[in-house]
Amino acid sequence: MSGRSILGSRLLAVQALRAIAALLVVWVHSIDAAEFFAVPRQSRFFHWENYGACGVDIFFAISGFIVSQVAVRLADRNAGHRSASAREFLTRRITRIFPLYWILTCVVLMIDELGKHKVHWHSFHWLPTLLLLPSQHYRGNAPLLSLGWSLMFEMYFYFILTAFMVWAPRSLARNTAIFLCGMVIAGTLVGIHRPLLVIWMNPIVLEFVFGCIIGLVFAHTQKNGASTTSIGPWLAAVGAVLLAATIFTGYGQASEQDWIMAGYYCWLRVGVWGVPSALLVAGMIFWNPAMRSMPARLLVFLGDASYSIYLCTIPARSVVEHFWRIFGRFGADTGVLLGAMFCIVVGVICYLFIERPLMRAFHNWYKPIPLHSTSA
């Protein structure tokens, strides 16, 4: 379920941002694939090598905005039936995230079994891989489809929203933001370097809070008819400049998912990437630029396909590595470009022939669920 279909054409610019976020992630993994065989010149350009990881932070801010607004509107529409609203919301999120994730996890599993990296079943991490749940051990590993680490935080955010849809739907976004902030503060006091807490109290969840706050401001301006088009471009410009500046200033180890999953460098990441990402997202929402040109419409389409592009990056990267003699034939940097283009094409094909049909099928499945069958 795309945010555009729920919140209207105002989100076209946000869809373009989702495309940019996905392309950044694809690019950083394409550089990683190339570095197994050569040293691309771009990997020595200041701190560009791992910079694309900030695409995840843009995704988190966008998700905080879109999903919280979806939850608020659903709760308002069915105000007298809290449990039904919560059930519909969570069902939609689960069917949005898991089917494609499971399919591509199986693809990665087959690639690993057929390739050099055999899966060690005795040490297989089932909970984070299949259910996107935190590990019961510290340090917990990322799922087999490694980019699933970000989905673990997404699902945590969805569960908190669902809980408040039942308990306090009137101030849903605000209560969710307060709760997540409280968990982060508690984690700062007691320490998060332990099982479960490293996810539940991780400062990186503040990036969802930023999205919730953007949603609250957005809803307030919409209700009062206030114009935000004048401040939007400035916010977007400041966010973009601050994000781009880290290419030159650096970002330490904040780009490494293993460190974030272990609870280290999280505050650094929120500061250098989370805040600028939130400013960029807020600016694009308040600015609402027209997306009529061909490049803009292409970005919007890639934004629609961004989830498939994001998840397909890992299996597509394995193909690039296997056939590097072809991709890298004209040099490492050309290989990075060709590898990124291949990942994008694979993601778009996955979107057109797997993700969209899945969404249609699940929409038809959960649409008949009676919303008024469960009392509050």
Give the residue extent of every domain in the chain.
3-366
- Place 262 in a pLDDT band, splitting at 50, 70 and 90: very high
Q: Is the pLDDT of residue 67 over 90?
A: yes
Instruction: Round to whole Å and give the CA distance between 176 and 165.
Output: 10
pLDDT of residue 324: 96
pLDDT of residue 137: 85
Instruction: Round to whole Å and give the CA distance between 178 and 183.
Output: 9
pLDDT of residue 1: 37
Instruction: Round to whole Å and give the CA distance between 64 and 71.
Output: 11
pTM for the full predicted model: 0.93
Query: What's the one-letter identity of residue 165?
Result: M
Average pLDDT over residues 357-368: 76
CA 109 to chain centre: 22
pLDDT of residue 73: 93
- Place 77 in a pLDDT band, splitting at 50, 70 and 90: confident
Please name the residues in contact with 107: beta carbons below 8 A apart, sequence gap of 6 or more: 315
Please name the residues in contact with 309: beta carbons below 8 A apart, sequence gap of 6 or more: 22, 23, 26, 302, 343, 344, 347, 348, 350, 351
- Residue indicated by tokens 């089932």: 126
Length of the chain: 376
Average pLDDT over residues 167-175: 93
Instruction: Round to whole Å and give the CA distance between 265 and 252.
Output: 8
pLDDT of residue 196: 94
- Place 365 in a pLDDT band, splitting at 50, 70 and 90: low
CA-nearest of 254, 88, 6 to 14 is: 6
pLDDT tens-digit readout, 109-124: 898 878 766 665 556 6
C-beta separation of 153 from 209 below 8 A: no
| % of the chain exceeding 70 in pLDDT | 91
CA-nearest of 194, 332, 175, 179 to 263 is: 194
Average pLDDT of the chain, as a whole number: 91
pLDDT of residue 245: 98
Instruction: Round to whole Å and give the CA distance between 131 and 128.
Output: 6
Instruction: Round to whole Å and give the CA distance between 302 and 305.
Output: 5
pLDDT of residue 226: 80
Collapsed DSSP state (helix, strand, coil) of residue 115:
coil
Q: What share of the chain is helix, strand, coil (3-state, %, to 5)?
A: 75, 0, 25
pLDDT of residue 116: 63
Please name the residues in contact with 184: beta carbons below 8 A apart, sequence gap of 6 or more: 201, 202, 203, 205, 206
Instruction: Round to whole Å and give the CA distance between 257 and 263.
Output: 10
Instruction: Round to whole Å and give the CA distance between 244 and 237.
Output: 10
- Rounded to 10 deg, the angle between the 54-77 and 275-287 helix axes is 50
